[in-house]
Chains A and B, each alone.
Chain A
Amino acid sequence: MTADEMIDGYVAEVVLLLPQRQRADVARELRDLIGEEVAGAAGTRSGRAEAVTAVLAGFGRPAEVAARYRAPIVVIDPSDSRRLLTLAGGGAVLIVAGAVLGELIDHPPAQRDLAAAVDRAAPLIFGWLGLLVAWFAVAAWWRRRHPAPVWKPRPLPSDRISRAARTAALAFFVAGTLALVFPAATLRLVTGGRAAQAAYDAFTFDDDFLAVRGPIVLGLLILSLLLQAAVIWQGRLLPWNHRVDPVLSLLLCAVLTWVVAGPVYVSGPTDRTAKEIVALLILVSLAGVAFDLRRHRVRQAVLSR
């Protein structure tokens, strides 16, 4: 390649990235300027080709030079980058977890292929990333068009709890636990004893579940209900809650994952539906643990003196 061909190739790569109306004019000027730089550098170089190489290296990558011809286009605000990365990573972890849970629910142990399930989750992860990029790009565009007038003060995340809300939640979870332990009695209560025998059969637990997994899950559920009752009594989250709650939640998620890996109900449709609900609860719990830990660490960082 001759020296002039190198210059033309460089100029072509730069103007390719410019708007049509600018191309010819910039190409003409840039070619002339490179020519003058080369003539100026020729005195210190052994040949013209070497001078061209040195000058073009000094100009930098064509894409970077082209970008400097216009105001930079910001797709994602730099201030959003960390949040984008956190959501991207967290979402990807939840999608992979969901794929693994789906595989555990869909197939018996002998037919499971967890690696293939993770591979099948790849398009969903890319979809999630695309959604995030689109969301943050629209947010950046909107912010540029409608700048927020002032920052609105928000209180520091608090350890205080709403006793009424927590009591209502505790009552709901106690009722749910009782319904799980005594399905026939719950069905009788809800239907006034008018349910068909098939409905009672649908909620018959698998013997293996009742022997091992059921009691362990029940024990953990009761433990977490007792902890919730303690929090209501305290009126606020204490340091020990911040240590115990995430551990218990993660332990519960692990045990529930083990639960969905085997039969829970004798009836197929009931078994599948129940497991899908449990899988959803696992994913929500994992997201909740991450959110609470982050919130607590922010509070600790602000209050540490």
Chain B
Amino acid sequence: MVEGVHDKLELELRRGVVVLAVLSRLRTLRYGYELRQSLIAAGMPIEEGTLYPLLRRLESQGVLTSEWRGAQGPARRYYVLSAAGRDLLARLTATWHGMTKAMDDILDEERGDDS
């Protein structure tokens, strides 16, 4: 029961940071599979069925731009941050640092109370 709750809450936590992780990796051109592997290597695995549709959704929101490229190999759709996306990444990064700082303080405080 508690294990099920843990999985659900962890999924919600991860869902909140997926977009930030994706945006941070798209400062340079990447295609979907390459991006996923890069996130896995960084310790942030994202399910295929979540990541690939997310790229399209972010593109439709004007956060990413994309194009098909394949001069030296198979054609692939590459994604990169748009100008609006870069601005959004900067703001979300600032928010993230503020949140992690606050959470660290809260959790440290709790740890101090427990000991």
Contact = CB atoms under 8 A, between A and B. Distances in A.
Interface in B10-59: 32-33, 37, 47-50, 52-54, 56-57
Contacts of A34: 48
A33 B54 contact: no
Question: How many of chain B's residues touch chain A, expressed as a range?
Answer: 10 to 19
A64 interface: yes
A68 B57 contact: yes
Given A40-B33, A68-B50, 4 more contacts: A40-B37, A58-B48, A65-B49, A71-B57
A289 to B, nearest CB: 37
Interface stretch (A24-32, A123-131, A133-141, A266-274): A24-32
B76 interface: yes
16 contacts: A26-B56, A32-B76, A33-B32, A33-B48, A34-B48, A40-B37, A58-B47, A58-B49, A59-B47, A59-B48, A59-B49, A68-B50, A68-B53, A69-B53, A69-B56, A70-B60
A133 B37 CA distance: 43
Interface string A70-93: 110000000000000000000000
Interface of B: 32-33, 37, 47-50, 52-54, 56-57, 60, 74-77
A72 B60 CA distance: 14
B56 A55 contact: no
Binding site secondary structure of chain B: helix
A30 B32 CA distance: 9
A44 B56 CA distance: 29
A37 interface: yes
Residue of B33, B47, B74, B75 with most partner-chain A CB within 10 A: B33
A60 B11 CA distance: 15
Given A29-B32, A36-B33, A60 B49 contact: yes
Contact of A55 (B48, B52, B60, B74): B48
A4 to B, nearest CB: 15
Contacts of B60: 70
A60 B52 CA distance: 12
Nearest to A33: B32
